[in-house]
Chain A
Amino acid sequence: MKTLRLRLLAILGAAGLLTVHALATTPSWSFENPKITSGEFQIRNACMMPAEGKLSRVTMKGGQGMSTESDNWTTTLQNMVEAHLKTAGVQIQGANDPAANGASDEEIRQVILQLNQKYMDIANQLNRHPKDIKKSRFTLGDSAALLPCSAKADVLVFVEGEGQVTSGGKKAMGMLVGGKSNVSEATLILTMADAKTGEILAFARLTNAESFGEKFVNQTEGVYGKALDRQFSRLRIGTYLDKKKH
């Protein structure tokens, strides 16, 4: 009887651990234009658009903003993606970098704003039919070339993060009543557009859900690092292209 109970406990423990592990993984999917994977379009130089990170807290008393944390998370996401691109042998420029043609910071900011507006506009279709990237269906238009960095860059990189931090009380409630509110989750979205024509060439979503803690806030690299490398390898970015050739 005792052995049976112990066995049952062991099975339950293992199942619990497996569940926690499964919930804390970072599943991802991506769609890309065959021009990239075939090596016809090579990504050696990237222009980073300012990242957008938004965190919110869900508690028993409703939603709350996390403005300071969002700000810090935005910087973390931007730095992380830049670091991984650099590791992949890609040269990085910032979309905000001063222009050789003497354009003012304000002028550059306005171009960024307009590009973001266009990006948001096509996001409606992009999110619904990401597969159509293969058919070159989505474009920001050649106003991408207004950015000074586009002179040298192959792609513009958009980094977006959206995370929901669920409080302990709300998670406990989620476990009691069921539903999705028993996890904290965050999604990192990465989009690459041709810096000359504005065509969307790659779109990736890395999602992370955790029953315990919110590692995606403080241990962002640990949560997304490997998944990012896998994505860049798949996209044959920078030196990954050379590695495949050999």
Chain B
Amino acid sequence: MRERLACLKYAALASVLIVTIPGVVTSAQELDKAAVDFHFTDVDNQVFQDSRAIDQQYLKKGLVLQDPQLQTYLDSIGKRIIANRPIPAQVEFKFMVLRDPMVQAFALPNGSVYVTTGLLSLLEHESQLAAVLGHETAHVFERHGYLQNRSVRKKALTLNILQIVASAAPTGGNFSQGVQLFGAALQLGTAVGGEIIVASIFGYSREMEHQADSDGLIALSNAAYDPTAMARSFELLDEDSSLEYEPIQGFYRDHPKLTDRRAFALQYASTHSAEKPLPDDQKTYTENVSAAISAEIQLDLSSRRERTAVDRSFKLVGMFPDNPKYKVLLADSYRSLGAKAKLPSPDERSKHGQAEHRKEYFSMTPEEEQKRLLQKPEGLASLRDNEATAEQLYKSVLQSNPDYADAHRGLGFLYEQESKYSEAATEYRSYLSTVAGTSMDHLRIERRLAAVQKLSGASLQSH
């Protein structure tokens, strides 16, 4: 009797779940309808408040890059992309650049659209940036942030209930074989149900991404940009991912497969090319986003992404060969590479190589990684090449601008690295006399000067 009651109790629970699981997993198909019928609930208001708080946090921490030329440029593209579409309630579109080396872009439900310095440095043309903004603004227009939050909440609740049911299933030795079998079946059912729900969370997200791509392509065409730009931006994302090992997977890696998205974009572009596409040259784009690229290079150098730093500064120098600032950035990047090769070797690009790189990244400090590289002849050769290139670049800047302080400083660092202490001291002195105490770096350089003077005295004595 007791066993029958237990079975009935669990059968009732199981039937409730059988009814609820399909309910939570089919909602992905109703995206369009959900956006049209959208009404704010308390849960959505909380998400809205959180979005505003995130905006304030970014500003407070200085993560939002403030550059008038870049901001005007970004705003103009953003406005063009959202033109002629009714702005949804509680949305105010703002386009901002986030100081972050990760290649990503995202939109908050309140209309704040962020593109990272990492992404801006990777893209080549204005139309590619417009494609990104088209994709991100689509998330806002379609209320994806709110809908995703609602969906995840529903599914998390179901998952938790499943867990409770599974833990209470009658599986102990006190029950008869039949009841135990029923309990095991119930546990299996809840486990499978859980998997289905987890998969549906990702499926729902993929559905949203697909819709955002589709809407983004339409917005791109309407704004007279070449829609093939979206396909090219996916190619760039794919190519760049092998340059560095990424400890945190970038946002775009979580999206549907880049190859599928590229194919979809190309298919759309084949039938929707703009009659009079906007002028879209690489130099204008690079000039307008140069502040972001410069900031990005500094971030790359602080976060062990020297190869990316070389790649990005190379791009700047290629476009503007006479700009001393960019040349110094390129020289700094080569100097920071040390014993690392400019590009990953085929072995490093392999699966095994990537795994090794990952292991090194987590187990070694940058100094230890350099030491390990220097134990190999290739490492020594890379160091020699990188240092020679850096020196040549610094010197070429000083040839045309003898008072360019940053070049003196960089050269000082390089000579110190090479144990050429008296040369380093000379460069540090030149730096200090040029900046005359107005630089944030004068204290550090004064300390370094004192140290290399001591070392150069010691090395003279030893000679």
Contacts and interface: CB of A to CB of B under 8 A. Distances in A.
Interface in A209-242: none
Given A67-B49, A71-B53, A113 B437 contact: no
A150 interface: yes
Contacts of A121: 302-304, 366
Contact of B442 (A61, A63, A101, A108): A101
B454 interface: no
B20 to A, nearest CB: 14
Contact of B299 (A101, A109, A114, A150): A114
Contact of A117 (B66, B303, B363): B303
B164 A176 contact: yes
A244 interface: no
A122 B50 CA distance: 30
A113 B61 contact: yes
Contacts of B157: 60-62
B167 A178 contact: yes
B12 interface: no
A149 to B, nearest CB: 11
A114 B57 contact: no
A137 B49 CA distance: 43
Interface stretch (A19-27, A32-40, A86-94, A140-148): A140-148
A110 B366 CA distance: 22
Given A67-B50, A113-B99, A142 B444 contact: yes
Interface in A105-148: 106-115, 117-118, 120-122, 124-125, 128, 137-139, 142-143, 145-146, 148
A64 B46 CA distance: 9
B121 to A, nearest CB: 16
A148 B437 CA distance: 12
A68 interface: yes
A173 interface: yes
Interface in B290-312: 295, 298-299, 302-304
A168 interface: no
A201 to B, nearest CB: 15
Nearest to A126: B365
Contact of A60 (B46, B160, B247, B298): B160
Contact of B62 (A109, A120, A146): A109
- What secondary structure prevails in chain B residues at the interface with A? helix
A1 interface: no
B185 interface: no
B285 to A, nearest CB: 24
Contact of A61 (B153, B444, B448): B153
Contacts of B367: 139
B365 A106 contact: no
Given A67-B57, A71-B53, A145-B443, A106 B62 contact: yes
B152 A114 contact: no
Interface string A51-78: 0000000001111110110010000000
Contacts of B304: 121
A188 B303 CA distance: 24
A216 B303 CA distance: 32
Contacts of A8: none
Interface string A183-199: 00000000000001000
Interface string B253-273: 000000000000000000000
A146 B154 CA distance: 49
A148 B247 CA distance: 32
Interface in B25-63: 46, 49-50, 53-54, 57, 61-63
A111 B440 contact: yes
A218 to B, nearest CB: 19
A193 to B, nearest CB: 14
Given A99-B440, A110-B62, 7 more contacts: A60-B160, A113-B63, A118-B303, A139-B365, A143-B444, A150-B443, A176-B164
Nearest to B301: A114
B174 interface: no
Contacts of A170: 160
B49 A68 contact: yes
Given A50-B61, A71-B57, A103-B440, A125 B363 contact: yes
A125 B362 contact: yes
11 contacts: A65-B53, A67-B49, A71-B57, A101-B439, A103-B440, A110-B298, A112-B62, A115-B302, A145-B444, A146-B440, A173-B160
A118 B440 contact: no
A186 to B, nearest CB: 19
A196 B365 CA distance: 19
Contacts of B448: 142
A16 B130 CA distance: 61
A71 B66 CA distance: 23
B113 to A, nearest CB: 19
